Structure 1
Amino acid sequence: MSSQPRTRPRPGSRRSAGSRSEAAPPTLSCPTRQTLDRLADRWTVVLIGQLESGPRRFGQLRDAAAGISEKMLTQTLRSLERDGFVTRRSDAAKVPQDAAKVPQVWYLLTPLGHSVLEPLAAVRSWAHQNIEGIERSRLTFDDQQR
Structure 2
Amino acid sequence: MKRNVCVFISMNGKIFLNHVQNKYLSSLPACGWPLESVSKQKIWFDKLKKSLGDGSFVRLMYESDLEKVKKGLISQSEASRNAALMRSKPSYELYREYRGYSDLSIEKLSKFEKEYFKGLENFFLWEKKYSSEVENARYEYSVCSED
TM-score over 0.5 for the alignment? Answer: no
Flag the structure with higher helix content.
2
Higher relative contact order (CA 8 A, sep 6+): 2
Flag the structure with higher strand content.
1
Structure 2 length as normaliser, TM-score? Answer: 0.30
Structure 1 length as normaliser, TM-score? Answer: 0.30
